[in-house]
Amino acid sequence: MHRFLFLLIAILFIQTISEAQQADSVKAVLNEIVVTATKSETPLYAIGSSVSVITSKDISERQARTVIDILREEPGLSVIEQGGPGKLSNVFMRGANSNHTLVIVDGVTMNDASSPNNAFDFSMLNTNDIARIEIVRGPQSTLYGSDALAGIINIITKRGGTSSRYLIESEAGSNNYYNGKISAAGSIGRINYFINAGKRGSAGISASDAKFGNSEKDGYGSESLTSRFDIGLPANLQLDLIYKFSKSTTALDQSGKFGDDPNYDYNIEEHLFKTGLTYSGFENRWKQQLNASYIKRFSHSLDQTDQLHPSTSSDSFNKAERIKLDWQNNLSFFENNLITLGAEIERERAKTSYYSTSEWGPFYTEFPEQSMNTTGLYFQDQLSLQSRFFVTAGLRYDNNEKFGGVTTYRIASAYLIQTTGTKLKMSYGSGFKAPSLFYLFDPAFGNPDLKPETSRGYDAGIEQIFDNGNYKIGVTYFDMKLQNMFGFDSNFRTVNIAEAASSGIEFTASAGNLRNFSLSLNYTYNKTNDDYNLSPDYNKPLLRRPLHQANFILNYKLNERANFGMQIRYSGKRDDKDFSSWDVVRVTMPDYTLINLTASYKIFHNLEMNARIENLFNKQYEEVLYYGTLGRSFYIGLSFDF
């Protein structure tokens, strides 16, 4: 109750200090259209969920080359890279596990069906083709099904347009880093097209922390291709065709303090196909979308013997596929009311194999090819009352051939206070995560009787606008419970056994038009807790989730040619585990602050030079215990746009 009292006091305080503004002015500032929160084009002022939007302009100004780098600066998210760029990269949203966030690219589910926990690895995902990223925090399974226990990260690629545009970029930097891309966008008759090809890599740093004497560098390299064609057809039809390809190779190390391994490599290749057909009828009152997608992923890790490990080797292979059909209907036959109805059919398929040798002899295990079908039906109603009170409510039922049915729900509301420029918001919902194929069927660890993990969560907050939108602040309180979480019994068999809780506050503030300055600030307080009373970590924080996080982003536009930026990122103390000794020890890792600088200058109207310095003060830190991170790094590049 004291938390709601805090919010009430904050509301009264804001109302007292605010300048009078008209509701139309508030709507003009919050009129940005977002899609992820409702699966339909909805203005931000009407959304009760906690939403962040990252635009291509944000990505360009901050010179973020990977998705993981731009996500680090968002409230409610904590990010880790296990050994520097190009290595395993995960996101924890509001303290939940990394596999509790659903990752979508152009409507296609990206979570890895061959991974034991279905988590998504961000290491290959660059920003070359991204138009915007929408982040919705809180349980979102009502519209999106499994894996959306804590929220969604929706990545939307660029489209072509009526005018032709060609872009060439190249960049080089520390550790023999290179990055290049070429893209083309435009239209031919009824066809809008966007094509992008890129290549990126580095000699790297030691994946095991260099401060323990690990000196062998673990480089990485990746290449990608994106093609998108939007075709206007007769009879109010539009056809969208998307193909994405990515491939990467990265060198790895063993875990532990002294992990150097000169010939441990990991390769991954991914193909994504999507086709979508959109129809608008009855004077645009009935909009239908029929989508079909297919994603295929291969991964292979090979560790050969060497002088440091003369009797140790391993060979692992994973293959995963996901096929999905979804049909969505948006009905707006009644004024101020939008109903969304949808049906989905999804099939996951995966197989893995693992072989290793050690001083204890050879070991081999195989996870034979298995598949799983899920059918989902969902309903949502969006209601607007007097253009100031907005309610969204939804219900979903999923039926899985392995564990049966599960029902999820969600309600979100927003209210605009006309005289103060204040938006109040609230959401409550449930989520679920289906057990992975590995957890269900693996010969050693699997359990076909598993039930889904579940979540219940709510948030409530305020967003305040000052000076016609030049200044904005927001605060949100959130609380989430996770139940039936996957754990292991005494025989290492997967069971529904664990529970956890997460709560906290997200604060955001931004200002623009300050004599060519713009700035934003966010702070996250996130308290997590292991609630399983038989766990050795009972009543302790969840691993690798800092209690405090903050980001400060400053941009200064000197003139039409020159632009400067600074990003300051603070990550508080967090716990990890040391597995290097027989008795596993829980340790607290120190906090750290990083400062990055960026600059760009337009030499000509279509030629721009950019430069950046990351980790300006060469801070030594770890995101994962005993794994390396980049020191001070310099980068410079050119961009030719014509």
Which tokens go with 150? 């804590």
List the alpha helices (DSSP H) in 254-358: none
- DSSP state letter for 505: E
Which tokens go with 142? 């009502």
What pLDDT, in 10s, does the model give residues 16-31? 444 434 445 566 666 7
CB–CB of 77/91 below 8 Å? yes
- Report the alpha-carbon distance of residue 391 to residue 381 in Å, rounded: 8
Question: How far, CA to CA in Å, does 589 sit from each of 98, 572, 574?
Answer: 19, 9, 6
- Report the alpha-carbon distance of residue 9 to residue 26 in Å, rounded: 22
Q: What is the pLDDT of residue 1?
A: 43
SS3 16: helix
Which tokens go with 76? 């409610």
Q: What is the pLDDT of residue 14?
A: 46
- Report the alpha-carbon distance of residue 41 to residue 526 in Å, rounded: 31
Q: What is the pLDDT of residue 97?
A: 97
- DSSP state letter for 616: T
Of 153, 190, 15, 157, nearest to 77 by C-alpha is: 153
List the alpha helices (DSSP H) in 479-530: none
Task: Tell me the whole-structure pTM to 2 decimals.
Answer: 0.95
What is the per-residue burial (b if ≥16 Cβ within 10 Å, else e) of 17-27?
ebeebebeebb
Q: What is the pLDDT of residue 8?
A: 44
- Report the alpha-carbon distance of residue 540 to residue 531 in Å, rounded: 8
- Average pLDDT of the chain is 93
Q: What is the pLDDT of residue 30?
A: 67
Of 428, 450, 425, 454, nearest to 439 by C-alpha is: 450
Phi, psi of 257 (to 5 degrees): -60, -45
For the chain, list residues with pLDDT below 70: 1-30
Of 231, 322, 307, nearest to 276 by C-alpha is: 231
Of 368, 376, 378, 327, nearest to 347 by C-alpha is: 376
- Report the alpha-carbon distance of residue 354 to residue 363 in Å, rounded: 8
Of 147, 156, 137, 158, nearest to 37 by C-alpha is: 137
86, 92, 98, 103 alpha-carbon torsion, rounded to 10°: -80
Of 74, 96, 26, nearest to 506 by C-alpha is: 74
C-beta atoms surrounding 185 within 10 Å: 19
Name residue 213's amino acid.
G
Q: In the structure, how many helices (H) and strands (E) does the chain have? A: 6, 33
Tokens 């109750």, residue located: 1
The neighbouring-strand residues paired with 466 are 471
H or E element that contains 430: strand 422-433
- Report the alpha-carbon distance of residue 370 to residue 350 in Å, rounded: 6
Q: What is the pLDDT of residue 162?
A: 86
Of 73, 41, 42, nearest to 59 by C-alpha is: 73
Q: What is the pLDDT of residue 25?
A: 55
